[in-house]
């Protein structure tokens, strides 16, 4: 458990909880603690789905600009790789990952949310990539993941202007998947995550990898990735259980082991 980031596990759901007052600024220490929490969530068998949550007031308002201001070009050459990979560690968790967003998800905070599979957003939240206002660009995946999610033109418009995007626009453009009152963000995220607790874990893992890896390659290669992952699931007990249950009882009644 880190000083500012911890993994809390309850009823099969792991919550990566950011807690660095006042705005959960993502300094180097927080970045590395996010990486560690993502690694723990990945390997723990009792974690079937993950929520990333910054608390009731703010998700994460961005990088620690005071820390970044002191860094030279060579400092950032050395740091930019670990910065990106700390956020990518969340994207690579082989389980469903849901961002529960209150307050602000800006800059690095927005990039952390983009690394999740889904985003539950408070109705008064603001998201965005305002790095351009500092004379830089997003450096932890924002230019790539945002464009893949909302399209290149909309991503450019948001990034070039550095503006904040409210919850309703986020929902309309696909940046948010669900908008709820601020007080209900975490409970809504838990309700979403709960549906995966009893699911066929390796099938979900394969589906996530097929979608994510497939987006990185051409269609023919993506189809081959899908084919191999599909065939591989025939080695799992959950595949046997699921098909036997379907034949004997009909769809949706299987009790999976996650094996």
Tell me, yes or no, whether 57 and 29 share the same domain: yes
pLDDT surpasses 90 at 1: no
In a domain, 209, yes or no: yes
Tell me, yes or no, whether 32 and 113 share the same domain: yes
pLDDT value for 174: 97
Tell me, yes or no, whether 44 and 164 share the same domain: yes
Mean pLDDT confidence for 159-175: 98
pLDDT surpasses 90 at 83: yes
Whole-number mean pLDDT of the chain? 96
**Structural domain range at position 234:** 201-249
Tell me, yes or no, whether 25 and 137 share the same domain: yes
In a domain, 254, yes or no: no
Question: 14-42: per-residue pLDDT in tens?
Answer: 999 999 999 999 999 999 999 999 999 99
Tell me, yes or no, whether 39 and 146 share the same domain: yes
pLDDT value for 64: 87
Mean pLDDT confidence for 163-192: 98
C-beta neighbour count of 147 within 10 angstroms: 16
Work out how many domains the chain is built from and give that number: 2
In a domain, 259, yes or no: no
pLDDT value for 144: 96
- pTM score above 0.85: yes
In a domain, 164, yes or no: yes
In a domain, 234, yes or no: yes
Q: Which residues are catalytic, by number?
A: 111, 131
Give the CATH number of the domain where residue 230 resides: 1.10.12.10
Distance CA 185, CA 124 (A): 11
pLDDT surpasses 90 at 253: no
Tell me, yes or no, whether 175 and 207 share the same domain: no
């Amino acid at each position: 458990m880190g000083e500012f980031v911890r993994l809390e596990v309850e009823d099969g759901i792991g919550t990566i909880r950011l807690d660095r007052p006042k705005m959960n600024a993502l300094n180097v220490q927080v970045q590395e603690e996010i990486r560690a929490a993502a690694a723990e969530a990945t390997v723990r068998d009792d974690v079937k789905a993950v929520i990333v949550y910054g608390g009731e007031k703010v998700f994460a308002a961005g990088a620690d600009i005071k820390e970044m201001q002191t860094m030279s070009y060579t400092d950032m050459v050395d740091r930019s790789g670990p910065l990106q990979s700390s956020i990518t560690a969340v994207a690579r968790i082989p389980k469903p990952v849901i961002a529960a967003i209150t307050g602000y998800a800006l800059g690095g905070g927005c990039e952390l949310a983009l690394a999740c599979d889904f985003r539950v957003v408070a109705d008064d939240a603001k998201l965005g990539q305002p790095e351009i206002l500092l004379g830089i660009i997003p450096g932890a995946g924002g230019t790539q993941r945002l464009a893949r999610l909302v399209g290149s033109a909309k991503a450019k418009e948001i990034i070039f202007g550095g503006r904040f995007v409210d919850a309703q626009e986020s929902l309309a453009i696909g940046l948010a998947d669900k908008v709820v009152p601020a007080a209900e963000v975490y409970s809504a995220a838990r309700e979403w995550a709960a549906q995966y607790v009893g699911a066929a874990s390796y099938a979900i893992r394969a589906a996530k990898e097929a979608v994510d890896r497939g987006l990185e390659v051409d269609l023919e290669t993506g189809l081959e990735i899908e084919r191999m992952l599909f065939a591989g699931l025939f080695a799992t007990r959950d595949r046997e259980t699921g098909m036997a249950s379907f034949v004997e009882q009909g769809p949706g009644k299987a009790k999976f082991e996650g094996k």
